Structure 1
């Protein structure tokens, strides 16, 4: 039962974040392009993979591998998420 608590927390955070982003876009009447959604989804998928790798490697008692893998997978995820955010923010600034 305790294994599901981090999974539930990650799911709740992802759901709240997606709800916040979509409501922010609707409030400002911004239409995101398909490639902005694709970059954001790829970044989110990589971030979730990094979190899963961190939890899995920590469970297997490999803390160094957990943090290194988290950094290797998480940094490109954050870069993709920042690129998607900047594309949408520039579109918001223009309108």
Structure 2
């Protein structure tokens, strides 16, 4: 158990998603390995793991649930494009910006 916790900390230390790069929620699928989710979404704010289940929590209430190392469910941001849609990035309007 301690080894698993340490591994999660080590794996979470390096996020392949650069700051400012859009997260790719539309590419998340059931059965996707956690390593690929890390490449798509970067480091989560929090990770919980117990008894074969793992949950990664991101900003805005978004999360990914893993069962035995692969995606079993997820909650994407409300403004995320539908699965399979091309991802484009735009600057938020002044009314959409948060402090």
TM-score greater than 0.5 by the shorter chain: no
Larger Cα-atom Rg = 1
Normalization by structure 1: what TM-score? 0.31
Which is bigger in relative contact order (C-alpha 8 A, separation at least 6)?
A: 1
